[in-house]
Amino acid sequence: MTSKINVNNQFSVERLAQQWTEKFNAAIEKQDVRELGDIFIEDCHWRDLLALTWRIETHSGWESLKEKIIISAKIHGMKNFKLDKRRSAPKLIERAGQSCIEAFGCFDTNIGKCVSVFRLSTDGNSAWTFMSALEEVFDSKKNENDDIPDVGTDISAPNWLDLRIATKDFSNRDPKVLIVGGGHAGCTSAAELGRLGVDTLVVDNEKRIGDNWRLRYHSLKLHNRTPINHFPHMPFPDTFPGYIPKDKLANWIETYVDAMEINFWTETKFEGAKYDPVSGHWLAELTLDDGSKLTLKPKHIIMATSVSGTPNIPRIPTLDNFLGKVIHSSKYKNGKEWQGKETLVIGTGTSAHDICQNLHANGAKVTMIQRSPTMVVNVDPSAQLYDGLYLQADGKTKAEDSLLELDQINSSFPMALTRRAHQIITRKVKEIDAPLLSALEEAGFRLEFGEDDTGWPLKYRQRGGGYYFNAGCSDLIAAREIDLLQYDDIQTFKEDGLLNKNGDTLTAQLIVLATGYKGQDYLTKQLFGEKVATKVGKVWGVNPDTQELNNMWSSTGQEGLWYTAGSLSQCRIYSKYLAMQIKALEIGYKLNKPY
């Protein structure tokens, strides 16, 4: 792809993008692979978000996608591709180190209204990347909410609160969708389903909405900036802090549930479910707050139990010798009770660092135990550079771009471009953070920067962790105020601490296992059985074939079973695609057509 800039004004950029859309339209209309090939480079990428495949998937290289895009366009009736005048005009920009023309498009299919973000060579002749995304599903049937009476001006009719109580009670009906987990992932999916009129119930084991954030360790706050984390249809107020504390986020989720009229049952444990292929419903077993049992028959179950939902407690040889307190990081609350005492924290991810810092602030003697190399970046500015699409230099949202446009651009990047862009950012991060990184290595901390130096976001997509945004703990390690020990240097744990291979001893009264969490695969097997878990396969982690996260926000190998998880921004962007698939099934579309 040429990097020579052949355009020098806005008019020519827009004209070149317009000409490309006309050529693309003609090739699709004639189903002409040769003509289409003339306007795509060989090393091109097509990312589809339901629009033409009913899947979230990426195809790279012209040979891989040429037949697929023509056949998919024919099956789904793709037509009227044009520049999207609702969005910003085409512009010359650099993405992943490459100059290109970036433009917003829109088109129709037999299924619904769709949008696109496409990037062209600077001469406007050839497409480098092409994203197609379903924006709205055509629905000839009435909205399910039409069955709920409108009180209008009849003062004898039930008021809004009466109707809300009756609606979320589910005393005389089953929900179409049962969402297991009431954090941001479950609630954003419920909001999108509710917006589409799909009857949905969220169940969560906690006592209060938001407790899955509220009850975590005392000092926790988000480590990426507020403008990146807005909820769908209800962005945070401008008065919110740059980094949201856990309790404020918990309260926001509670407010969101009320404002978006999400049906939510607290203190409700999901015990598991079995699928009846004859009726097309699940038999979902719940234990309610009073201990009673209830069976619901939803058509769909969405598991929203987080990438990091079930504590991972590995077998650590000789740890049973230790007679002090051992807890997983998920049970850690505050370091106040450990003032003046000796503590060990096993792990070097975000939770481990935050807990070490909290213990240190409360006057405990802290030693961090490192098991594997970990990426460390300063929370500002370095960690935020990977989200630079959304932020100005001062950390605020780019005023000239709407959040919707930014989300479309974000979701238009195929994995190959993301990797390339993040390698560029990681090189810059290493330069910015060089003094800290050097000091950490001098203290014995082992560093790494993700696969092929692609940084923390792809580490998160692969394993849900393995990095730390330095909010002060790394400085304490570099200054030797928090001690560091390599796990491989331990000979054995003892009743009152541990013995190192060099003969030194460390005493402790507390050991915190900041050893991460099991994936959703583990929970699938527990709640649905081995057979269903085998059908579904791996959940989370990037699939090399689709270049997408495994089984996320898409139909799975088990009919009626769906998954959502991830960061607040991921859930904002992708919950609507999950909701649209379920809505489409409910109104009679078939999602598994060949293409």
In this prediction, residues 366-392 reach a mean pLDDT of: 93
Whether residue 97 contacts residue 420, with contact meaning beta carbons closer than 8 Å, is answered with yes
Amino acid code (one letter) for 473: C
Residue 176 pLDDT: 98
In this prediction, residues 82-105 reach a mean pLDDT of: 96
What is the CATH T-level fold of the domain 172-309+519-586, as seen in this structure?
FAD/NAD(P)-binding domain (3.50.50)
Residue 578 pLDDT: 98
b/e sequence 120-152, b meaning 16+ C-beta within 10 Å = bbbebbbbbbbbbbbbebebeeeeeeeeeeeee
Residue 391 pLDDT: 84
Query: Which one of 3.30.70.1430, 3.50.50.60, 3.40.720.10, 3.40.50.170 gives the CATH number of domain 312-517?
Result: 3.50.50.60
In this prediction, residues 141-146 reach a mean pLDDT of: 52
DSSP annotation of 146 reads G
Q: How far is CA 523 from CA 178, 295, 498, 543, in A?
A: 16, 19, 33, 20
Phi, psi of 316 (to 5 degrees): -105, 115
Q: Nearest 5°: CA angle at 232, between 226 and 233?
A: 110
Helical (H) or strand (E) element with 502 = none
Whether residue 368 contacts residue 359, with contact meaning beta carbons closer than 8 Å, is answered with no
DSSP state string for 58-80: EEESHHHHHHHHHHHHHHHT-EE
Q: How confident is the model at residue 296 (pLDDT cuts 50, 70, 90)?
A: very high
Helical (H) or strand (E) element with 97 = none
DSSP annotation of 319 reads G
Please give the Cα distance from 472 to 565 (Å, whole number).
28
Q: How far is CA 508 from CA 195, 490, 528, 579, in A?
A: 53, 14, 41, 50
Please give the Cα distance from 112 to 463 (Å, whole number).
35
| pTM (two decimals) | 0.92
DSSP annotation of 492 reads E
In this prediction, residues 559-569 reach a mean pLDDT of: 96
Highest mean pLDDT among 157-171, 242-256, 514-528: 242-256
Residue 47 pLDDT: 98
Picking from 384-393, 512-521, 557-566, which range would have the lowest pLDDT averaged per residue? 384-393
What are the helix and strand counts (H, E) for the chain? 16, 29
Identical topology for domains 172-309+519-586 and 312-517: yes
> How does pLDDT run across 197-227, given as a tens digit for each residue?
999 999 999 999 999 999 988 888 998 999 9
Whether residue 41 contacts residue 572, with contact meaning beta carbons closer than 8 Å, is answered with no
In this prediction, residues 551-579 reach a mean pLDDT of: 97
Whether residue 97 contacts residue 421, with contact meaning beta carbons closer than 8 Å, is answered with yes
Picking from 236-250, 386-400, 405-419, 439-453, which range would have the lowest pLDDT averaged per residue? 386-400
Given CATH 3.40.309.10, say whether it is the number of domain 10-137: no
Q: How confident is the model at residue 144 (pLDDT cuts 50, 70, 90)?
A: very low
The domains of the chain are located at 10-137, 172-309+519-586, 312-517
Residue 392 pLDDT: 63
Residue 368 pLDDT: 98
> How does pLDDT run across 467-521, given as a tens digit for each residue?
999 999 999 999 999 999 999 999 999 999 999 999 999 999 999 999 988 888 8
